[in-house]
Structure 1
């Protein structure tokens, strides 16, 4: 036996006199002290006051053994042990004793009492070796059916056909010069997500809540549910959603469309944004998020020299949030000054990590006229797909814009008159048939 091992008794329960790293049986990681006592040789378990997060402190100790063998008769608990050990001892070879090794016994003690010491040695005959954590055998990787992968469509057919929709677990970055319509288009994309039954949550760092709702309500209403009102003082004609439509839209928004409150100064803190997003996801089931825009977020403790690094960390955190929770995050980032040339992915403000972390990168640019295969087509805006990680597609899509409803739509043959599902929600009015009056002097023919 060896007394030269590091002392890790603070985190593991074991008898140092029974530790033999040179023994080819490896280190047996058990489910409790009773099992350790039954096995004795090279047997350990997590100490009573320790947690799995303490396991990395034991890496120097564990590395002295050829491998770790997880020994636990209970399948559910065994799976938990395997997951916790593999996550924290990344470079350690892990073997797992299978159900057959325990011969139907519920504890190691009963296995020893029923079948003797030889049964403990024979556990090694029924083990499976796991790949090192983070290393997969490609042959065992299951490929999903793309058509069944959770996604949200944009409502822009050419965009959906190009990228296959906005997949859950991804981050999309949107850029474009000021006033080119990024925020407006993204408001429309959130409405499309809501129309598909998704709950959405937006951080708009520049617009007060009333203005954000005003624009979004116009987009939800569409041109058929908007009337023009003349401002008596300025003479300006202002589009307003009709009262009946606004009431129905409000019910359509309720508990399905959340806006981050920017009513106090601390709300712009990047950490707060992420915490509120986590809350909206876990409590309200939100799966589509918008950060508009990253330049308005503040990073605690970062000096001017560290600003771009903090910004990069925030984007990385957003991408991690999307992957971990299976949601889609849209992020607006202004480009660097690039007058006189078309935007590229590298033109996004800050450092390159912003687009490196992104699964999709899009740019909006105003265009007076573009030439397409079917001839000259007047377009208000060009949507450029600068990066698409899944399909690798790059494409330009022409969009027109309806000033009244603030809606983008396909250039040329498209129309802003799409009807969202709020128009079909609620109770239908029932018409009551009135019996004919025999004294009616004007009966119907």
Structure 2
């Protein structure tokens, strides 16, 4: 039997922790089953030497955590022929690896051709990039001899829920990537699954020139594989289509809804292909962006009638089949109510409301306004800047232009993170931000912005704990994407508030700024605003209010709280209560630590199982003048590598800086420079 001892040592050291129990199983062409249990690579290799197996065979290793008592089976530290039992699902106590097996479609009992290997490698790059952008950590990449393995570190208890989760994740990947030439194996969900022991020869069928036997090996592996959160797997499984619930108003029945007819009727051109028990409709272009062509956008119909949609471009990644249908049938999911027309019922039926077509002014502004005068007043249409915090954007619609927001929180609560995150969100929406930072130097501020815009797929860990950088060319691409949309005040010109406001007014006019951020009030010199501190801060907020309305911008400022012995409340915000009384919105950012848990239990009588305690930070909506939302606590999850405060542990938002790469890197001759943003797996 041919094998590479060094490669086997490498594989076991990467895939298994010290003293982990694993089974190696040798399957011969004669269907003879040879098994051994081991705890270290050297004992395993010594047993291989002693086995003297000459038949064509393939060698496999168990992926997941085996119960320790299995080490007492008779094949302990040696190989035995046709021995039972071998590892079954009931012997596994932990999913440690999520295996994606990408294999060419070929006749059973044959090795892959060179052309098929090329296709498998290309497909594995597509899957690898998709997983990276979804938020998964770097995998072990293995060449099985006939295809490619991507192994992602996980830590899931073995139960039916997690078994279904893994199964659904593989179904999604097959749905997205399998075709008639290369497939993602959907059978690798059972806990006792084995995979190729890298460093051994893959021997399927005859060893021919067209389809040779090849050595398996590890292509690349992280120095220490980082465990992926279960939330990422749940996010991936969430792409699996589920049937629409049939309702009279949505005109949908999984047995009667003719998807082909619907697509043809709305002029969507597609290529039809089968996969498993379903059908894939590869669209000529994405319904939401005609530039997304090729195989970028697909509609899927499952055997149970469920319909799904996915576009692999970041800007459309969150779109669903329901979004596609609404694009062509806006009322497809809206309930239709028939309203009976009612006649007016006035106490005085002879009273007639005088209809006014214009507002009449006598001696300037009227003392009292009629409702019609108010209605006919000209005001800018309501406009909201999304924050990226889902609950705020759902309940408050975002940050309203013309309004002023106060943000407070104790030290290290995450205020700098949320501020730079708001700036990135504004950039993504096409808004411009003017930012004063009294605490962060411009270089540090840019570093935070760049880390958050990059996302963990494009940051690099350094030798220092929790210190990450964005390597080139990504840093330059991101900076150019933000350039002209973010304006940072140069602290060289001092911190006198009136002078800063003069410059902000100019910046707003010259650069059409929509969002102004002042971090923080305590770093501003307010001496000329009044004789005492409370008067200064009251006039400060009044000045911001007047400017926000006049310029139709949203202004957010940070105010540090006074020292508080209890749980931080709005009344603890530094200075006068006039601050929080006058602003339109007020948020408090909390860090979820032992003090937070103790104080909230004292004040709100929360229980230990409160889901907020599972988060790292909480942002509290204390005041919402427009919608009346208050006392709303929103969990957030801090990510060390990117300084992001995420809506969930599995969130990995992708900003569109990559899609604008070519435009940003146009050279002096009007030509586009090639910038290698898409990493490829380093196959030989």
Q: TM-score range by the shorter chain?
A: 0.5 to 0.7
* Structure 1 gaps, min length 5: 1-126, 432-445
Matched, 1:358 2:583: yes
CA-CA distance at 1:129 after TM superposition: 6.1
In structure 1, what is the equivalent of residue 540 of structure 2? Answer: 314
Matched, 1:296 2:532: no
* Counterpart secondary structure, 1:423: coil
After TM superposition, the structure 1 = structure 2 runs for residues 5-404 of structure 1, keeping only pairs within 5 Å, are: 130=362, 133=365, 135-142=368-375, 149-230=382-463, 236=465, 238-264=467-493, 267-301=494-528, 306-341=532-567, 343-368=568-593, 378-394=614-630, 395-404=632-641
* Counterpart secondary structure, 1:276: helix
CA-CA distance at 1:212 after TM superposition: 1.1
* Counterpart secondary structure, 1:422: coil
CA-CA distance at 1:422 after TM superposition: 1.0
Compared with structure 1, are the counterparts of its residues 425 and 238 closer, same or farther at alpha carbon in structure 2 (3 Å cutoff)?
same
CA-CA distance at 1:387 after TM superposition: 0.4
Distance of 1:335 and 1:220 partners within structure 2? 29
Distance of 2:413 and 2:491 partners within structure 1? 23
Contact 1:371-1:377 within 8 A present in 2 as well:
no
In structure 1, what is the equivalent of residue 661 of structure 2? Answer: 426
* Counterpart secondary structure, 2:460: strand
Contact 2:620-2:634 within 8 A present in 1 as well:
yes
1:305-359, Cα deviation, whole Å (9 max, x unpaired): 5133122211211111111000000100011111332x22221101112112210
Q: Aligned Cα RMSD in Å?
A: 2.9
Distance of 2:545 and 2:526 partners within structure 1? 17
Distance of 1:294 and 1:346 partners within structure 2? 16
CA-CA distance at 1:171 after TM superposition: 0.3
Distance of 1:197 and 1:371 partners within structure 2? 42
Compared with structure 1, are the counterparts of its residues 224 and 130 closer, same or farther at alpha carbon in structure 2 (3 Å cutoff)?
same
CA-CA distance at 1:242 after TM superposition: 1.7
Contact 2:615-2:635 within 8 A present in 1 as well:
yes
* Counterpart secondary structure, 1:399: strand
1:142-171, Cα deviation, whole Å (9 max, x unpaired): 289x99621111111111111121110000
* Counterpart secondary structure, 2:453: helix
Distance of 1:128 and 1:259 partners within structure 2? 44
Contact 1:377-1:411 within 8 A present in 2 as well:
no
User: Structure 1: which 4+ aligned runs deviate by more than 3 Å?
Assistant: 127-132, 300-303, 368-377, 428-431
Distance of 1:288 and 1:171 partners within structure 2? 10
Q: Pick 1 or 2: higher relative contact order, CA cutoff 8 A, min separation 6.
A: 1
Compared with structure 1, are the counterparts of its residues 363 and 374 closer, same or farther at alpha carbon in structure 2 (3 Å cutoff)?
closer
CA-CA distance at 1:178 after TM superposition: 1.0
* Structure 2 gaps, min length 5: 1-358, 598-605, 664-671, 675-684
CA-CA distance at 1:418 after TM superposition: 0.6
How many residues in Structure 1 have an aligned counterpart in Structure 2?
Answer: 294
Higher helix share: 1
Distance of 2:395 and 2:539 partners within structure 1? 29
* Counterpart secondary structure, 2:487: strand
Relative to the length of structure 1, the TM-score reads: 0.61
Compared with structure 1, are the counterparts of its residues 365 and 388 closer, same or farther at alpha carbon in structure 2 (3 Å cutoff)?
same
CA-CA distance at 1:139 after TM superposition: 2.8
In structure 2, what is the equivalent of residue 49 of structure 1? Answer: none
Compared with structure 1, are the counterparts of its residues 140 and 402 closer, same or farther at alpha carbon in structure 2 (3 Å cutoff)?
same
